[in-house]
């Protein structure tokens, strides 16, 4: 099949604003969708001009609010606007709309006849903003009322299982003149893997206006091209990914996809959001994912669903990488070695001998950190809100343990040569530091501590800001991510990551 076309969805208030965005992203897109429902009232009367202004094939869409759009004036007004936009067709078809989007219940014979007469293809769409759509093949057949439509089904999944079902049903389809979309953050794989769904096109939005339709989960065209190399994805592309929850921000796709590009590999790495790690593995089995990075909160639970583990996973009790070998999954832990390298660079030491270390948290990441601290000969205390979990982790290595609360301030001061923050608290959080975003909000830094926060988004986390105000030396988790990612790449591909080409 041909690769899916890349369609830029335009949601500006004026045609001039939309045209400027077409010009900015022209080299990255194939067609543009003019969402006329977003235009100011007077601008809607001028949409007929847009295809000739844009100079690329255009889709005309007037989406109703019930279908996730902005148009509220009623069907009679919408019909008139469609008619104005499609009338007086130019003899040069490039100056006419190449496509028009009509919903499944919008049947106006005169408009359909005009579309056929002028060579305008009808995208016959169904949108469900509340729940998934099932029986995909049957619904597509229903949407092809005349046999000339390009049927489109877009729905809001409730879980990753709904996205998995979409891919499963798409396997039985025998054509590439349909559009299948799982919307929202859960549906990102359906946009990146449009070729796997045999989609006719995939929708993107400019970064400048993506907030207008944020609930749809569009990627911007630059990300689609520079991070995911969408134009190179085909049915032979090997698929890898990262799973976690909520996985609202991750730099791993940039790292891994850059590696594939440098090594000239036909592969892609994408985010696969799953509240339950079993759903991620089911998706991977269905779609043919060959390897997964596993992040919070799944690093321990994933052990229940994989068949083989290496010695580090067995010793640490947490897994951050799984690789498909034949028909089974093998688990690895690259966090520990990635953390060790990043920490020693930060501290400027060869080991942690004679250092008293505070480990904040007792989850999957903390397990890898505790293992690394022990291997580096550090003397540590594990602080966690659930004391039972702190004790369980500390006992593995003969460490101390304490509750993560103001009651443990004296103990925290005692183990404060290096403080390692391993929880997800502060991830994607804005400054200033507060009780809600800083796990050490109750602690008065002296300025002598070194703080390593494994969180790397934002670049300066609230607890880092807290420590910086006292004059502490601080570090985020980006280098840890980078170093453990290099090892993951080798596990995924069998080749060492080409670090020299990284900027």
pLDDT per residue as tens digits for the range 306-356: 999 999 999 999 999 999 998 899 999 999 999 999 999 999 999 999 999
Listed residues 234, 260, 278: the one ending a domain = 234
Say whether pLDDT at 294 is over 60.
Answer: yes
CATH of the domain at 450: 3.40.50.720
CATH of the domain at 147: 3.20.20.70
> What is the number of other CB atoms lying within 10 angstroms of the CB of residue 375?
15
Are 300 and 362 found together in one domain? no
CATH of the domain at 274: 3.40.50.10860
pTM score of the predicted model: 0.93
Secondary structure letter of residue 393 according to DSSP: H
Say whether pLDDT at 30 is over 60.
Answer: yes
Are 442 and 319 found together in one domain? no
Q: What is the pLDDT averaged over residues 386-407?
A: 97
Residue 417 dihedral angles phi and psi, to the nearest 5°: -60, -45
Nearest C-alpha neighbor of 99 from the set 19, 200, 221: 200
Query: Is 172 exposed, middle or buried, given 0-12, 13-18 or 19+ CB atoms closer than 10 A?
Result: exposed
Say whether pLDDT at 87 is over 90.
Answer: no
| Residue pLDDT, tens place only, 346-389 | 999 999 999 999 999 999 999 999 999 999 999 999 999 999 99
pLDDT number for residue 1: 55
Are 217 and 322 found together in one domain? no
Secondary structure letter of residue 120 according to DSSP: P
Q: What is the pLDDT averaged over residues 197-224?
A: 95
Q: How far is Cα 331 from Cα 354, in angstroms, rounded to an integer?
A: 33
Are 25 and 143 found together in one domain? yes
Say whether pLDDT at 501 is over 80.
Answer: no
Are 183 and 306 found together in one domain? no
Are 319 and 397 found together in one domain? no
pLDDT number for residue 503: 40
Active site residue 299: yes
Q: How far is Cα 333 from Cα 165, in angstroms, rounded to an integer?
A: 30
The catalytically annotated residue of 299, 312, 355, 425 is 299
Per the structure, the complete domain to which residue 411 belongs is given by 341-478
Are 375 and 301 found together in one domain? no
Are 37 and 56 found together in one domain? yes
Better-predicted residue by pLDDT, 346 or 119: 346
- Name the band, by pLDDT with cuts 50, 70 and 90, for residue 417: very high
Are 330 and 386 found together in one domain? no
Are 378 and 460 found together in one domain? yes
Count up the domains in the chain and report the number.
Answer: 3
Q: How far is Cα 343 from Cα 279, in angstroms, rounded to an integer?
A: 33
Listed residues 219, 234, 249: the one ending a domain = 234
Are 257 and 211 found together in one domain? no
Are 492 and 473 found together in one domain? no
Q: How far is Cα 152 from Cα 145, in angstroms, rounded to an integer?
A: 13
Q: How far is Cα 187 from Cα 217, in angstroms, rounded to an integer?
A: 7
Say whether pLDDT at 292 is over 80.
Answer: yes
């Amino acid at each position: 099949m041909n690769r899916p076309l890349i369609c830029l969805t335009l949601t500006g208030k004026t045609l001039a604003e939309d045209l400027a965005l077409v010009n900015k992203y022209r080299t990255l897109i194939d067609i543009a969708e003019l969402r006329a429902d977003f235009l100011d009232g007077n601008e809607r009367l001028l949409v007929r001009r847009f295809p000739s202004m844009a100079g690329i094939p255009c889709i005309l869409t007037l989406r109703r609010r019930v279908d996730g759009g902005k148009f509220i004036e009623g069907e009679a007004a919408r019909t008139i606007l469609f008619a104005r936009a499609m009338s007086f067709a130019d003899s040069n078809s490039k100056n006419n709309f190449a496509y028009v989007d009509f919903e499944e219940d919008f049947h106006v014979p005169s408009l359909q006849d005009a579309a056929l007469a002028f060579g305008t293809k009808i995208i016959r769409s169904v949108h469900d903003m509340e729940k998934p759509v099932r029986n995909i093949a049957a619904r597509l057949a229903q949407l092809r009322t005349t046999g000339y439509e390009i049927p489109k089904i877009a729905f809001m999944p409730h879980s990753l299982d709904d996205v998995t079902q979409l891919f499963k049903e798409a396997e039985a389809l025998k054509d590439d003149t349909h559009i299948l979309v799982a919307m929202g953050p859960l549906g990102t794989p359906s946009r990146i893997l449009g070729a796997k769904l045999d989609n006719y096109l995939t929708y993107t939005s400019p970064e400048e206006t993506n907030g207008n339709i944020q609930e749809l989960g569009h990627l911007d065209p630059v990300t689609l091209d520079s991070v995911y190399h969408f134009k190179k994805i085909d049915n032979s592309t090997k698929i890898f990914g990262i799973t976690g929850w909520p996985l609202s921000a991750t730099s791993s796709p940039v790292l891994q996809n850059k590696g594939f590009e440098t090594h000239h590999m036909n592969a892609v790495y994408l985010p696969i959001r799953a509240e339950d790690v079993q759903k991620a593995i089911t998706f991977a089995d269905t779609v043919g994912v060959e390897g997964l990075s596993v992040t919070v909160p799944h690093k321990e639970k994933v052990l229940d669903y994989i068949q083989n583990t290496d010695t580090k996973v067995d010793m640490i009790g947490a897994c951050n990488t799984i690789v498909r070998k034949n028909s089974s999954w093998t688990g690895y832990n690259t966090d520990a070695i990635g953390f060790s390298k990043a920490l020693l660079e930060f501290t400027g030491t060869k080991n942690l001998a004679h250092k008293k270390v505070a480990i904040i948290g007792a989850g999957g990441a903390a397990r890898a950190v505790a293992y690394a601290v022990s291997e580096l000969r550090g003397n540590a205390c594990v602080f966690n809100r659930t004391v039972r979990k702190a004790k369980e982790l500390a006992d593995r290595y003969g460490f101390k343990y304490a509750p993560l609360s103001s009651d443990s301030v004296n103990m925290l001061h005692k183990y404060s040569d290096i403080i390692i923050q391993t929880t997800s608290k502060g991830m994607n959080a804005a400054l200033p530091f507060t009780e809600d975003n800083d796990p050490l909000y109750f602690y008065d830094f002296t300025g002598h501590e070194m703080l390593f926060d494994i969180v790397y988004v934002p670049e300066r986390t609230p607890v880092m800001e807290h420590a910086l105000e006292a004059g502490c030396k601080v570090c985020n988790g980006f280098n840890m991510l980078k170093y453990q990612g290099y090892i993951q790449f080798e596990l995924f591909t069998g080749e060492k990551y080409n670090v020299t080409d990284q900027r």
